[in-house]
Amino acid sequence: MNALSVPAWSPELETRYAPLVEKLEQLMPCMEVPLHLPWVAAIEELKRERGAVIMAHSYQSPEIFHGVADITGDSLALAQAAAKCDSDLIVLCGVHFMAESAKILAPGKTVLIPDLEAGCSLASSITAADVRALRAQHPGTPVVSYVNTSAAVKAESDACCTSANAVQVVNAIAAEFGVRKVIFLPDRYLGSWVATQTDVELVLWSGVCEVHEKFTAMEARHTRERFDAKIVAHPECAPEVLAEADFVGSTSAMGKWLEKEKPERVAMITECSMADNLRNQFPQVQFIKPCNLCPHMKRITLPNIHACLRDMRNQIHVPADVIVKARRALDRMLAVGRGEKV
């Protein structure tokens, strides 16, 4: 069976997936929807046969996020889901570090990623050797690593964090170690924002997200003035962009802000698919772009989800010793999320 041998479009598919069709037609050109339905049907069948669970990050395209995913959310939500998921087979529709995190938290399960080349500019900006060098330069200073890092970097860290809980994790680790300084890596923009929310001194690394660093303050101002839109920005953006925002927060926090504030028009200063996937949840809100696409997230497609499930390919492997050390750092993050002492 080759990758193209999926059912052709048919009126029966259109009827079977009528609610999905209605949803997707609000989020993408309607002519694209029939092209996705055969892949959705084939993936659903394979998922049942394999007993698989598909997890999708909020930056995944609507046909994946709404079409085949069982669990969706930001990095923290997916990490928590991996830790308690009942299935022995997880397909992680996101980037490589997310699949590694799932494997670390569920080492006995099979974790697949549809494309092994789905990487991250932040994860590639720092190595385990870099972390060891930072520790040597700042002896006794604990390390908090953003989850957008490799398993090897997590293993060299004292705790991980997401953009949703970075401030809480920094404060908790500083308290646990009895220090007022923490090494925070690798995103210097997220670190700069966290530094404005805490009294803990942060030692920052020079990494940036290639999606969020492209936004400019001029774009934000133009969008506000031209469209009378509220500006919601991800903390991976540059400080001058965040200064223009009405709200700064993680992907999950953005959704909560929209639910609370219900703006007439909003510009999501983050990855494009975030707004696409929220548009269905908030039909009364007009979403104004600018936005930027993540080239790594967009490597995940329905055809390669189908192929990885069909062939059980692109398994994630993490060395046992790295899993033990990285698990400790991720468990500390999850403990903070549960309100427990780390």
What is the length of the chain?
Answer: 342
At residue 3, does pLDDT exceed 50?
Answer: no
CATH number assigned to the domain comprising residue 258:
3.40.50.10800
| pTM assigned to the model | 0.89
User: Between 281 and 114, where is the model more confident?
Assistant: 114
In a domain, 254, yes or no: yes
Roughly what angle, to the nearest 10 degrees, separates helices 272-279 and 251-261? 40
In a domain, 80, yes or no: yes
End-to-end CA distance of the chain: 50
Asked if 68 and 107 sit in the same domain, the reply is yes
Query: Residue 77's pLDDT is what?
Result: 83
Asked if 34 and 109 sit in the same domain, the reply is yes
Decide which of 192, 209, 226 is a domain's last residue. Answer: 209
Asked if 40 and 52 sit in the same domain, the reply is yes
Asked if 245 and 191 sit in the same domain, the reply is no
With b for 16 or more beta-carbon neighbours within 10 A and e for fewer, the 172-202 pattern comes to: bbbeebeeeebbbbbbbbbbbbbbeebebeb
- Domain count along the chain: 3
Q: Which of 132, 87, 130 is nearest to 106 (CA)?
A: 87
In a domain, 200, yes or no: yes
At residue 80, does pLDDT exceed 90?
Answer: no
| Residue 218 domain boundaries | 212-288
Half-sphere exposure of 164 (CA within 13 A, CB side): 19
Query: Residue 158's pLDDT is what?
Result: 97
Asked if 43 and 113 sit in the same domain, the reply is yes
Tens of pLDDT, residue by residue over 279-288, are 888 989 999 9
Q: For residues 35 and 29, is the Cβ–Cβ distance under 8 A? A: no
**CB neighbours of residue 45 within 10 Å:** 14
Asked if 182 and 233 sit in the same domain, the reply is no
Asked if 192 and 225 sit in the same domain, the reply is no
In a domain, 176, yes or no: yes
Query: Residue 289's pLDDT is what?
Result: 77
165 vs 322: CA distance, rounded Å: 23
Q: Which of 214, 255, 217, 252 is nearest to 81 (CA)?
A: 252
Q: Is 312 left (phi over 0), alpha (psi -120 to 50) or beta?
A: left
Asked if 205 and 219 sit in the same domain, the reply is no
In a domain, 335, yes or no: no
Q: How much of the chain exceeds pLDDT 70, in percent? A: 96
Asked if 169 and 112 sit in the same domain, the reply is no
Q: Please, which pLDDT band fits residue 232 given cuts at 50, 70 and 90?
A: very high
